[in-house]
């Protein structure tokens, strides 16, 4: 048995949304009725608020609504890695017409994608950050400077992301290496991963400046 996630619910819509999200991420799961015995290899159980009292297992995640589903799946990935928290979360961004995104937690890619607007990008990053405890996890967003639009994205990130998140601008030179795969989507994500691995000057958060000025 390789399933390490159990979906314990008899609520039809919740079950449909949860299992579809797990399948999209390639996460194996077993379906159970709340109250059924847990298989020995299960690491985490997903259930609903109404049914969680019937689930006798330590690692329980509660599905609340569809808007929280992406954050829930990110939390599942963390627990499957055997982590209660990450030491460092790095977000790499490859700006352009299609914006490549890669999220690395303690060096491992846990989320990736392509986005076509600043709103889509920041919304996706915020869903990841909902699972982060800033008291124990350092979070940094690194954006490549290869195209002028990066400045607008940087301003949007500064306005939207929590103050605990550091912003860095890094060089994109050499990040757009040719790939055998012909998909542009893969190329943008690959560049975002390389950007996440680079260091650059820190961007001074305007929120920090505004906060300091109001306290003086």
How does pLDDT run across 142-192, given as a tens digit for each residue? 999 989 999 999 999 999 999 999 999 999 876 665 555 445 668 889 999
* pLDDT tens-digit series, residues 15-54: 999 999 999 999 999 999 999 998 888 999 999 999 999 9
pLDDT of residue 40: 85
**What are the residues whose beta carbons fall under 8 Å from the beta carbon of 187, sequence distance 6 or more?**
100, 176, 179, 181
pLDDT of residue 176: 63
CB atoms within 10 A of CB 60: 14
| Beta carbons of 137 and 87 less than 8 angstroms apart | yes
d(CA 124, CA 129): 9
* pLDDT tens-digit series, residues 135-151: 999 999 999 998 999 99
| Beta carbons of 49 and 26 less than 8 angstroms apart | no
Domains of the chain, start order? 5-80 (3.40.50), 88-215 (3.30.420)
CB atoms within 10 A of CB 183: 11
In the block, residue with structure tokens 């991420």: 25
pLDDT of residue 154: 94
Query: Against a cut of 0.95, is the pTM above it?
Result: no
């Amino acid at each position: 048995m390789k399933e390490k996630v159990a979906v314990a619910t008899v609520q039809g819509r919740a079950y449909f949304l949860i299992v579809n999200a797990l399948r999209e991420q390639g996460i194996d799961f077993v379906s159970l009725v709340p109250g059924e015995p847990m298989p020995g290899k299960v690491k985490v159980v997903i259930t609903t608020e109404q049914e969680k009292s019937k689930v006798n297992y330590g690692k329980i995640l509660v599905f609340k609504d569809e808007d929280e589903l992406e954050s829930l799946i990110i939390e599942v990935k963390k627990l499957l890695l055997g982590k209660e928290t990450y030491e460092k979360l790095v977000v790499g961004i490859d700006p352009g017409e299609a914006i490549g995104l890669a999220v690395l937690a303690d060096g491992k890619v846990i989320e990736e994608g392509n986005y076509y607007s600043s709103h889509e990008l920041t919304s996706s990053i915020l869903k990841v950050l909902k699972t982060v405890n800033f008291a124990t996890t350092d979070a940094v967003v690194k954006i490549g400077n290869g195209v002028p639009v990066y400045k607008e994205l940087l301003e949007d990130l500064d306005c939207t992301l929590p103050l605990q998140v550091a912003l860095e601008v890094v060089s994109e030179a050499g990040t757009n290496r040719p790939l055998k795969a012909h998909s542009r989507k893969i190329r943008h994500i690959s560049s975002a991963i390389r950007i996440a691995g680079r260091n650059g000057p820190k961007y001074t958060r305007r929120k920090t400046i505004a906060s300091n000025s109001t306290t003086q």
